[in-house]
Chains A and B, each alone.
Chain A
């Protein structure tokens, strides 16, 4: 019986395992192999260059920028998306009816094309847009939104947060719905209301869902590409040059596929370590306050 169950388990897991093999394991080994070569993507010839690509990447100004830019995005994007999605889920959860309808409404931006939204934002922020003409005429303010190394990453963070808030709020809404109403009733009997209820009951009991959303948001930052590619091209300076942009530029624009693969490997290691550290911090936080 046990053996039959095991076989059934493998059978059910096999599509995923095959999928992972084709789209994850084989490309991963391929990228690892390429990272030690100087292959230019189209030439039939290449040489093994050892760790040269990795040394070059560590010394590269662009790669160093990508490293720090990612954490800059993280510092902006993660709080915005967490607070935003929590607010949306609290609003949806408090609605007497049509909860699903509003959830779908907030989820829609997630389906929007990054290229299309970036082009719209580019139009809104252009020098001669209605917004900027109004700012100049009314307040004598001429803001170079995408030309500022502080504003450009913030704008991109807000755009991506807008896109993902609805998606993450679905996770948080289901977390909120799983909190037993008896807990709130008991707290009400004890005289807890408003903010006290939110900080002492809602947040601690929502901790597992918040944990998931935080990890997802941190992981997402390492994959940012479309918005900076369309809006800023990685500039001004290298203030919005992300890992993905650097990998893309090296592999597909400059034809340095081997070097691009080395950057991708470094990126995956940095991503892994960062997620591990954030996860550990969240666990320590949870343990300290008894939220886990």
Chain B
């Protein structure tokens, strides 16, 4: 018995020693980082793509010239298996950066729930940023349930659809269809003339991964419901009629064999399909890989289609929009230094212009369409024009803490079985609602 007790004691001692080692090392590092020659060093995790990293590195460099007491270390956030998982792992290990970008509203809600974020509106300088960046309207939609602002939105992509107008012309169309029945009719003509081509090639339609619903279900639902909320607080407030219509549209496309759910390599670009969801980040890839794709010659951009009989003006769509947060794990000194950096970046519209030029992502400002500087840039880049125009019609993701479970259920209970032809739209909508309400309890 004594031996067992001794064994347990040794185990506990070793475990405490090991865990103690980790903690002391971290705090020692932090202390040395902040106090060395009075320079505060902050870590900034940029989105894991080269254009965004280029922008933030440039900003950090220019900022350090005018603020020698603050050093901003910019590095890409871990992207394997996902940037969210990378941040979670860093938080769990006590190694979170001071600031990071690339945070969606849903993920931010989860972080807020775990007290991992600093309420930005409680920090000095927040109001100055909102005013100088001209984003009083945009920021309203980002308020969280507790009344605080935890995320500073950086960009807002009003997601659009692209059509292969070159192929549509071969089918006798001068412009893309705008309503559900018009699209089904086009799809039938396409399949008849080109049996190897499909209307929409999208394997995500049979995949229940949560974020995939942003780019199919929510784009269509936001349009069909004229921007009606899906979840408010902890209540499902989705528009039943719009929800069923959205799923019925998917059902009709599947029934008429207009959807290709097999994995395909660049199906839109290689003309396997004539319709696809598209964000402005795509144009950079196309420029290098598919230079033959030209606006108004090969492809055109449109907002999502709407149910028959609905107005096709000012159609709502999903906003792929992400922002910047400050982590509560970092010291107060670092949090304040981070705010100084953000304030400096957004005090000058030139920096948002640089962002737009480098990344192609429209800055989350109220004046993208009216500011002369942005207007001039959009004139030279017509492919971005509709994205900027659609910002007022773009609906950001809901901010419920259970966003992952809810969006997984939309896939599992509604989109995936409807596309697979297993159940009809009405049953899928009812099943999904019941399951989501179960999660929200």
Contact = CB atoms under 8 A, between A and B. Distances in A.
A127 B114 contact: no
A14 interface: no
Contact of B88 (A26, A41, A235): A41
A49 interface: no
Interface string A248-275: 1000111101000000000000000000
Interface stretch (B49-57, B203-211, B248-256, B285-293): B203-211
B201 interface: yes
B91 A42 contact: yes
A204 B196 CA distance: 54
Given A22-B18, A233-B209, A41 B262 contact: no
A10 to B, nearest CB: 14
B91 A128 contact: no
A125 interface: yes
A13 B250 CA distance: 62
B110 interface: yes
Interface residues of B, number: 40
Q: Which of A42, A123, A129 has the most CB of B within 10 A?
A: A42
B262 A25 contact: no
A127 B85 contact: no
A41 B81 contact: no
Contact of B114 (A43, A144, A236): A43
Contacts of B270: 128
A219 to B, nearest CB: 23
Interface string B108-129: 0011011110000000000000
A255 B88 contact: yes
A253 B18 contact: no
Contact of B18 (A26, A128, A145): A26
Interface string A144-188: 111100000000000000000000000000000000000000000
Contacts of B88: 41-42, 252, 255
B92 A127 contact: no
Contact of A43 (B115, B272, B405): B115
Nearest to B85: A252
A257 B89 CA distance: 11
Nearest to B271: A128
A144 B101 CA distance: 38
A25 B272 CA distance: 53
A141 B135 CA distance: 55
Given A126-B265, A128-B270, A229-B81, A41 B92 contact: yes
Given A136-B196, A253-B84, A42 B92 contact: yes
B262 A127 contact: yes
Q: Which of A128, A136, A147 has the most CB of B within 10 A?
A: A128
Contacts of A136: 196
B115 A127 contact: no
A255 B272 contact: no
A26 B206 contact: no
Contacts of B31: none
A21 interface: yes
B82 A253 contact: yes
B1 interface: no
A118 to B, nearest CB: 11
B236 interface: no
Interface in B1-25: 11, 14-15, 18
A235 B265 contact: no
B91 A146 contact: no
A158 to B, nearest CB: 17
A26 B264 CA distance: 45
B40 to A, nearest CB: 24
A148 to B, nearest CB: 10
A44 interface: yes
Nearest to A127: B264
Interface in A57-116: none
B110 A255 contact: yes
A123 B404 contact: no
Interface string A47-61: 000000000000000
Contacts of B203: 147
A122 interface: yes
Contacts of B208: 233-235
Nearest to B403: A254
A43 B401 CA distance: 13
B263 A233 contact: no
B261 interface: yes
Contact of B207 (A144, A145, A235, A255): A235
Interface string B339-359: 000000000000000000000
Interface in B173-204: 196, 201, 203
Interface string B83-96: 01100110110000
B244 to A, nearest CB: 23
Contacts of A122: 263
A127 B201 contact: yes
Given A122-B263, A128-B264, A254 B206 contact: no
Nearest to B265: A126
Given A21-B14, A128-B270, A254-B408, 18 more contacts: A22-B18, A25-B11, A26-B15, A26-B18, A44-B114, A125-B263, A126-B263, A126-B264, A126-B265, A136-B196, A146-B263, A147-B206, A147-B262, A235-B206, A236-B420, A253-B82, A253-B85, A254-B404
5 contacts: A43-B116, A122-B263, A127-B267, A144-B262, A235-B207
Interface of A: 21-22, 25-26, 40-44, 122-123, 125-129, 136, 144-147, 229, 233-236, 248, 252-255, 257
Enumerate the 10 nearest inter-chain pairs by beta-carbon distance, A residue then B residue, closest first.
A43-B114, A127-B264, A42-B91, A127-B262, A42-B114, A252-B85, A254-B404, A126-B263, A126-B265, A144-B262
